[in-house]
């Protein structure tokens, strides 16, 4: 079976550390997680993600905007500050865990092409039959 996971432990690594949790502790905590065969990170600048959320007129969520941190009463400003730290952490994770970066500011079809290429490469590997993760 192929398990498609929408977010994984990396989300916790990025968000929790942005909130001030110890980097090493949160990694140790999730040491019970299976290491994925392929982890894709859709990277997008904050302005683009804000524009997209605003264009759909969604209300920014309290925790998504890091309002619990008390950095700003303005939810858009808080989102910028908090997600900025989250993105910094993701950049660190890319190197630490070898995440495959997909440029999420590209057109959806281009992104999907990249995703299919990455997945194909993974599926063609004979190692898939083994359950042990890299």
Partner 1 sequence: MAEEFESGANGHGQAGSYYGHGLPYLPIDHYPGKIIAVEGTDGVGRSTQIQLLREWLEVQGYGVVETGWTRSALMQPTIEMAKSSNTLNKLTFVLLYATDFADRLEKEIIPALKAGFVVLSDRYIFSALARAGVRGVDRAWLRSLYGFAIAPHLVFYLKIDVDTLIRRVLSARGMDFWESGMDLKGGDDIYDSFRAYQNKLLREYASMTDEFGFRVLDARRPVDAIQDDLRRQVQLFLSNSNIGVEGTPLDAAAR
Residue 44 lies near partner 1 (rule: CB under 8 A): no
The CA-based angle 125-6-70, given to 5 degrees, is 135
Nearest distance, CB of residue 21 and partner 1, angstroms: 7
Q: How far is the CB of 121 from partner 1 (least distance, A)?
A: 22
Cβ distance to partner 1 smaller for residue 96 or 103: 96
DSSP code at position 106: S
Which one of the spans 17-25, 52-60, 86-94, 99-107 is the region binding partner 1 (CB under 8 A)? 17-25
* # residues near partner 1 by CB under 8 A: 16
* Helical segments of 1-131, H only: 9-18, 23-29, 46-55, 75-97, 108-124
Beta-carbon contacts of residue 132 (< 8 Å; ≥ 6 apart): none
**DSSP state for residue 89 in the 8-state scheme:** H
Residue 70 as a binder of partner 1 (CB under 8 A): the answer is no
DSSP state of 48: H
Using CB under 8 A, which of 11, 12, 27, 43 touches partner 1? 27
Residues lying near partner 1 in the complex (CB under 8 A) are found at 9, 19-22, 24-25, 27-33, 35, 97
């Amino acid at each position: 079976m192929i398990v498609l996971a929408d977010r994984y432990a990396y989300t916790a690594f990025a968000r929790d550390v942005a909130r001030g949790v110890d980097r090493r502790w949160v990694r140790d905590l999730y040491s019970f997680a299976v290491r994925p065969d392929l982890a894709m990170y859709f990277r997008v600048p904050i302005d683009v993600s804000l524009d997209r959320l605003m264009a759909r007129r969604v209300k920014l969520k309290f925790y998504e905007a890091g309002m619990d941190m008390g950095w700003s009463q303005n939810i858009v400003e808080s989102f910028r500050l908090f997600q900025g730290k989250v993105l910094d952490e993701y950049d660190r994770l890319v190197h630490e865990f070898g995440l495959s970066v997909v440029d999420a500011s590209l057109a959806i079809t281009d992104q999907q092409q990249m995703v299919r290429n990455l997945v194909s490469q993974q599926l063609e590997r004979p190692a898939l039959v083994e359950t042990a993760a890299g």
